[in-house]
Structure 1
Amino acid sequence: MSPDELTGRALARMVDISAVQAQHGRADVEALARHALEGDFVAAHVLPSWLPVLRPLLVGSTTNAGSPVGFPSGGSATPIKVAEAGWLIEAGVQEMDVVMNIGLVRSGELAAAGRDVAAVLSAVGGAVPVKVILEVGLLDERQLRDAARAALDAGATSLKTGTGWQGVATTPRHVEIMRAAAGPGPEIKASGGVRSLEQIRALIAAGATRFGINTAVAVRLVAEAGA
């Protein structure tokens, strides 16, 4: 999509909204589902323990119920990530994020980081889409490029810039690096600090195809984009 073609409807179908902070409870999950249905957002994400609450609220809609693995640090042991992914599949997840082990990436242990991602992707077995979170705010350009390549070599078909927990906004440069590593095919989700239509258009121009945006901000931006 060209940035100039962005409409509210098109934007909503590119945006995931979420309630994935530690303090989010049942009322927040129920409110998230209402916003997702009213706005026809492409996905709504919650922490794993809340997926059984969210999933039935979205039945019959075009909004996917999503949840993360190894969130937010990425440092869980690989067998724990594999078990969490399996549990989410059994709970009815429709799409999944997995946080790459950023400590391994920063240590230059890219093969180990790739094996961690590959194990989760193997456990999912293509049952649902999986986005690999690279946490761009903790990586320099070389590390980001290496992390993207390691994830892709492990079988990833979708990359995500961050968890939103690091307080570092995703920039067009982050997306450009990821797109250069990924080529034209894989999905790239920009998440973290996206607050304006101007940012969204710049990120699309850099190669982003999907967005994770704060729910209240997402609702506002869809309205601003218009019909």
Structure 2
Amino acid sequence: MRDLTVVLTDDAALFREALAGVLGRAGFRIRAQLGDAAAARAAIAEHRPDLAVFDIRLPPTHTLEGLVAAAEIRESHPDTGVLVLSQHLETRLLRMLVRSSSRGVGYLLKERVTGIQDFVDAARRVATGGCAFDPEVVRALTRGDPLGRLSEREHEILSLIAQGRSNMAICEQLRLTKKTVESHVRSILLRLDLHPQPDDHRRVLAVLEYLRPWSEEAYRLALPPPRT
């Protein structure tokens, strides 16, 4: 299996170096480390990495440059997985990340990443076309949408699915029987008018695909005006 390649973008140099060390030891090849969105766009266009990791707040304004750049990369380089890794949960423009496709995308909160291996596993999933979302991100995605019809327990299980957890892992974490978890998963898909799929990866892709139409307006408002 070939090594996965990655471009890292974060304006905190020490954190960026630490992240490069973690991914490098896990077998990723670091193609570039950048501190701003413009440089990241150029590096990604040059190297076409398997994965691009972005912080949200980047120079010059330290507001949403990273999130907007991540969404643009999703549009312009669909073969590159995009993982947002930030201290901040940006709810206003969150769905712009799943607008064009629900494959190869993730959003993790730095302070809630519980272990190095968990992060590496999430990075590898996104780089190979999967998903990785913090439960808080899932809650923000579903708030105010038809997913609001889910029960509290179903939201909890959906959040774990979005982290890439199998049914057995969900059973162990929530101390539920396999039959109970399977019943909740079926209920989630039925409530959302989604056809059950044979694996966990496709289940979360189906849910994210269901969310995608609600991202259109947020995405349009977030992008900078065209250059004249």
**TM-score interval, smaller chain:** 0.3 to 0.5
Higher RCO, 1 vs 2 (CA within 8 Å, ≥6 residues apart): 1
Q: Which structure has greater helix proportion? A: 2
TM-score, normalisation: structure 2: 0.36
Structure-1-length-normalised TM-score = 0.36
